[in-house]
A and B are shown apart, each in its own frame.
Chain A
Amino acid sequence: MQLQQMYQEIILDHYKNPHGRGLRDPFDAESFQVNPTCGDEVTLRVHLVDDVVKDVSYDGQGCSISQASTSVLTDLVVGKPVGEAFEKLDAFVELMQGRGKVEPDEDVLEDGIAFAGVAKYPARVKCALLGWMAFKDAVARSQGAA
């Protein structure tokens, strides 16, 4: 069934038990992102120490895809140097914009590969990228302020 291809168990698990959720201190920058077509929103904070992502915390309202992908994001980038985190970001964006034709690398994206099925639904790609765009923006803001 197509639906299961999209809503992999991993996605539903992250949706029901999100990792890293809640806004925390300390943080260096915050980003608010909204999906204007559905009103889904996320507020996301980053805390960087010596160019390493020390914490990502977030709060928001959204569908299972946007919430789960933000949860996966925190697993992937917290503890990583910013450069490596951005490599994962690029890989995730490439996967999501690939219309289902990009083969994801599990070593890079770990649970993120579960979103390969979502990439076949153009209307949902923005959902999957919401938290990631907030992360990108928050890091840029923190570096701009430094």
Chain B
Amino acid sequence: MTTTAAPLDVAALRADFPILSRTVRDGKRLVYLDSGATSQRPTQVLDAEKAFLQQHNAAVHRGAHQLAEEATDAYEGARQRIADFVGADFGELVFTKNATEGFNLVAYAMGNAATSGPEAARFVVGPGDEIVVTEMEHHANLVPWQQLASRTGATLKWFTLTQDGRLDLSDVDSVITPRTKVVAFTHQSNVTGVINPVDVLVAASRKVGALTVLDACQSVPHSPVDFRALGVDFASFSGHKMLGPSGIGVLYGRRELLEALPPFITGGSMIELVKMEGSSFAPPPQRFEAGSPMTSQAVGLGAAVDYLSVVGMERVNAHEHALTVAALEGLSAVKGVRLIGPQDTVARGGAVPFEIEGVHPHDAGQVLDSLGIAVRVGHHCAWPLHRCLNAQSSVRASFYLYNTLDEVDALVDGVREAQKFFGVA
């Protein structure tokens, strides 16, 4: 990875994250290596949320008073800035409660297409059609497609993985066929950090007229992402993994698709005309934002995007790359540690999963926790991936812009400590 940008001043950045200076477990310095699960929020984001609530709070898109106007401006202003951040137009971003809801929105809307107007015909899925996913998926981008298949009679197919945890694309045309209606895949694995070749999958999908749905939860927070340049049809990501609040996610959909897509959740705010006999629906994105939406969360996510833009996503990415290199080196030098997934740093982001021979991941996590080191243990909502890579579960360290090489060292020392504690070193 080459970058000409100046490296991050991590010490200065860390000062923006108050939680990173707290201690845990009887005075241990917190070493937070679980940003893949949720990231921490800088003061700038917390302040933006608070300022909104103290100065501008009102229901958006209703009411004609000054606060309602200000709240609506703040909400829609955040949408615009987030759209700019990911290479989308204003009208192509839908706020959801989280990324999972975004995948469900597309899957359920496709399920509703059969009983919608002719404009929705391209979304109809039924017996004989195929839905393609991968064995690398987070459950959020897998279970909704399993469910769509079982509701509609379509067939679920999937790409399997190579031994080192990359997508096996040796026979793309046998998986993505003229019967394929949708191809759902992750941009970057939440377990192994593997970055998938979006261009290959988009090209194969386009060739057969299949829609693409990208899980961008682990890519948007950690690297420059431009959905238009990637050419995907839909993408979903969450606020809390990119320095923003929980309770907000974002669904991207190409404008012409969102315009033709039937609604998922219905009710207030998403209508055009309501009569007792039936209703018509608002254009996107409102069509997909039924009910009172989250507001301070949208403002907070807007502030998170501002923060990341100032830091620069290239620099964030380069910093995490350096941490990943150090973690892979450090951990592979420990006898008895098995790295899961690729052993190299080609096309991979800042997540490092591993097993320790003779120490169950849950127990390893407990030892690390006693040292103040927060990691994720278990299957990380990617059970099929673990089965595929012959792991019952794993320990995952994941990095963000505020992590340091010292923290990587602490992790490696902690792993040795766990081996000592369980008498396997």
Question: Interface on A for B, CB 8 Å cutoff?
Answer: 1-3, 6-7, 12, 37-40, 61-65, 121, 124, 127
Contacts and interface: CB of A to CB of B under 8 A. Distances in A.
Contacts of A2: 25-26, 370
Contacts of B422: 12, 64
A39 B393 contact: yes
A63 B360 contact: yes
B300 interface: no
Contact of B361 (A6, A38, A65): A38
Interface in B382-402: 383, 386, 392-393
12 contacts: A2-B370, A3-B421, A6-B366, A38-B361, A38-B378, A39-B383, A39-B386, A40-B362, A40-B393, A63-B362, A64-B362, A121-B366
B361 A1 contact: no
A78 B36 CA distance: 44
A14 to B, nearest CB: 13
Contacts of A1: 370
A127 B360 CA distance: 12
A124 B362 contact: yes
A63 B363 CA distance: 6
B265 to A, nearest CB: 26
Given A37-B378, A39-B378, A39-B383, A124 B360 contact: no
B392 A61 contact: yes
B379 interface: yes
A127 B393 CA distance: 14
A37 B379 CA distance: 7
B290 interface: no
Given A2-B25, A3-B421, A61-B392, A39 B379 contact: yes
Given A6-B366, A124-B366, 8 more contacts: A2-B370, A3-B366, A38-B377, A38-B379, A40-B392, A61-B392, A64-B360, A127-B362
Nearest to A62: B360
A65 B362 contact: yes
A124 B386 CA distance: 21
Given A38-B393, A39-B383, A3 B367 contact: yes
Contacts of A63: 360-363
Residue among A12, A63, A64 with most chain B CB within 10 A = A63
A38 B392 CA distance: 8
A64 B363 contact: yes
Contacts of A65: 362-363
Contacts of A7: 363, 366, 421
Contacts of A62: 360, 362
Contacts of B370: 1-3
Contacts of A64: 360, 362-363, 422
A124 B422 CA distance: 17
A61 B355 CA distance: 14
Contact of A38 (B25, B26, B362, B367): B362
Contacts of B363: 7, 63-65
Most central of B360, B370, B377, B422 by chain A CB within 10 Å: B360
A2 B252 CA distance: 46
A40 B136 CA distance: 20
Nearest to B370: A3
A37 B361 CA distance: 12
A59 B362 CA distance: 18
Contacts of A61: 392
A12 B360 CA distance: 13
B25 to A, nearest CB: 6
Nearest to A121: B366
Contacts of B393: 38-40
A35 to B, nearest CB: 9
Interface in B6-31: 25-26
